[in-house]
Chains A and B, each alone.
Chain A
Amino acid sequence: MSLLELDGITKSFGAIHALQGVSLSVAPGEAVGLMGDNGAGKSTLMKIIAGNFPPTSGQIRIEGRQVQFHKPIDARQSGIEIVYQDLALCDNLTAAANVFLGRELKKSFGPIRYLDYKAMYKRAAELFAELKSETRPRDLVKQMSGGQRQAVAIARTRLSDPKLVLMDEPTAAISVRQVAEVLNLIQRLKDTGHAVILVSHRMPDVFDVCDRVAVLRRGTKVADKRIDQTTPEEVTGLITGAIASA
C-alpha cells in the first residue's frame, strides 16, 4: 500500500491554475524526485503536502486514509516532516534550540516544568553525529555555514520518526562534501523505511538517491518513471518540453 497518495490534485489562485489534476504515490522506503522548471507547480504541490494550504480539489491519502491539512502542524502530526528551502531557522537561537523548537524536552520539579538543556544538547549532538555534520549543538545558528544550517534543518526532521520527509532543494546552497552527506542521509532514511520526496534542480542528486522521478510541467505531471528506466537527457527533455510526455 502506498504511504502517500495524491489523487487528482488541482490548485487555482484566481485565474491561475498552478496544478491541474496531479496524481502521485509514494511507497514506504521509496525516494521520489520531483522535478520541473520554475513555475511548473513543484512548490505549490510541496506546500499542499506540507499543509500550507489546501488543494482546490483532489484527495490526499496517507496509508489509505484520507486526510485534510489546514496547518503545517496537521501534516507533521500525520508523519510528514519538511525541510524548507529557506530552512526556517531562528538565527538567534542555538542549533539544539532550533532542532527542538516547538517540541522542547522538559523536566519536572514538582508542578514546575522547565527546559532540559542537557538532554536536548545530547540528543542534538547524536543527530548531528548521525549526519556526520560538524555542527555543535550549542552554537548560534547565525554563526553557521550553509551546510551546518542544512544539517540543523534536517536533524529536526529526525526528532519524530516521520513516515515521509519532504525536502525542498536540500543541496542548493551547500558544499560538495555536504551534498554527499545529505545524499547519504536520504539513503539512510530510505533504508529505515522512510519515504522521501526530493525537490531538486540538480539532476545528479535525483539520479543518485531516488527510485523514481516525477516531472511536472505547467501544472501537470508529464512523466513518472523508474530511475533505471530513464536517463538525465530524457528528464531534461521532459522538463523543458522538448519531449511531450513519457
Chain B
Amino acid sequence: MSETTSQDLRTRPGRGPMGHAEIDESITTRTETSGLQAIIRTQPFWVLMAIIVIGLVMSFVSDVFLTERNFFNTTRNFAFFGIMALGMSAVICTAGIDLSVGSLMGLAGIVTGLVMQAGYGIVPGFLACMGVAALVGLINGVLIAYLRMAPFVVTLGMLAMARSVSMVISNNKMIYDFGPDTDLYLWLGGESVLGVPNPVWVLIVLTAVFWWVWRYSTWGRWVIAIGGNAKAARLSGIPVERIIVSVYVLSAMMAGLAAFLLVGWFGSVTNALGEGYELNVIAASVIGGANLMGGVVYALGAPIGAALMELIRNSLLLAGIDALWQQFFVGLFLIIAVLLEQIRNRGRSE
C-alpha cells in the first residue's frame, strides 16, 4: 500500500480540507507504486536475486562454474524446462494444472522421430510434432472447459494415455535415424548461434513474446481475468471456455516444441522421453511466481524458475555434493518460494 491513504488526503492536519478539484487531480494522477517498486515486489525478482547470490557463492567454490562451457551447458539444460514452463504458467494462471506435458513430450518426440525416419523431412516432422501436441491440448481443454472436469484428473488421465500411445506407436523401440534432414535436425537441437545454444534462443524469443502477450494482448488480459474471477470474466462477455481451451493447447504446444528441440539435441528418442518432467515444469513455474490459486503470471518467471532449478543441480554437482541430494534442494526451494510469497501477500492484504 502507498503510505498516504485517501483518508489522510481529506483530513490532512494543518492544511484545511482539500477542494474537490484538488482531490480529483490527486486521485487521477497518482499511481500506486513506481515501476521499480512494482518489480521489487514480484517473485521472479527475488528468485533472480537468489540466483545471483548462489552464482556469486559458486564462483568462489568452483573454478569451473564461471566457464563458458558450464554456462553453455547450464542454460541449454534449463531452456527445455523454461519453454514448457511458459505454457504451464498460462495454465496455472487460470487456476488449472497440466500434468500431461511430460508424457506428451514422449508422444510428440516419437511422432517426430517416426515421421522423419520415414523420410518426410524436418518440416513435416515439426508440423506432425506440433499437430499431435495441439490435438492432445485440445482434448484436455475441451474436457476441462466444456465438460467442467477437474484439470488435475483430465491431465492425469492424459499423462497415462499419451505415454501408452507413444509406447504403442514406437513399438517400444528407440529411433535414432531421422532421414534426409538428420544433420539439420541435430544442428537445430544441439548447436548454437553466436555462442548461444539454439534452444536458449528459442526460450529467449518466446519469453519476449510471452512478456508482450501478458502485458499487451487482450488474450493475455483475459487469461489473467479468468484466473482472478472466472464468473466476473464470463459476465463481462469474455468467452471463458474458448480461452481455457486455448491455454491448454498452448501448454501442450510448448511441450511439443521442447520435445522437438530435445530430441534434436539427444540425437535419438525413446518413448521414455520427458518422464517425470511435468513435476519439474510445475515446480519451475511456481518458483517463478505462478500461483496455483490462479490470476498471477510472469513471463520472466518461467525461465527464472527453470534457471534456479538447473543452477541448484549444477551447483551441487560442482561443489562435489552427491547428486542424489538434487531433488531435495529443488523441493526445498519450491516450498520456500511459495512460503515467502504467502508471507508477502499476507503483509499486503491486512
Contacts and interface: CB of A to CB of B under 8 A. Distances in A.
Q: How large is the interface on B (under 10, 10 to 19, 20 to 34, 35 or more residues)?
A: 35 or more
B233 A134 contact: no
A74 B30 CA distance: 36
A200 interface: no
A62 B329 CA distance: 64
B235 A91 contact: no
Contacts of A138: 31-32
Interface stretch (A6-14, A22-30, A139-147, A237-245): A139-147
A97 interface: yes
A153 B314 CA distance: 51
B73 interface: no
Contacts of B236: 88, 101-103
Interface in B1-37: 1, 6, 9, 20, 23-24, 27-28, 30-32
A143 B221 contact: no
Residue among A84, A89, A113, A136 with the highest chain B CB neighbour number at 10 A: A136
B218 interface: yes
B127 to A, nearest CB: 23
Nearest to B294: A92
B1 to A, nearest CB: 6
Interface residues of A, number: 35
A82 B237 CA distance: 12
Contacts of A128: 27-28
B6 A134 contact: yes
Contacts, number: 91
B163 to A, nearest CB: 35
B28 A101 contact: no
Contacts of A92: 224, 227-228, 295-296
A46 to B, nearest CB: 13
A135 B32 CA distance: 11
The 10 closest A-B pairs by CB, nearest first: A90-B228, A102-B236, A125-B28, A92-B228, A92-B295, A88-B232, A114-B216, A102-B237, A134-B6, A101-B236
Interface of A: 72-73, 76, 82, 84, 88-93, 97, 101-104, 106, 113-115, 125-126, 128-129, 132-140, 142-143
Interface of B: 1, 6, 9, 20, 23-24, 27-28, 30-32, 212, 215-218, 221-222, 224-225, 227-229, 231-238, 295-296, 348-349
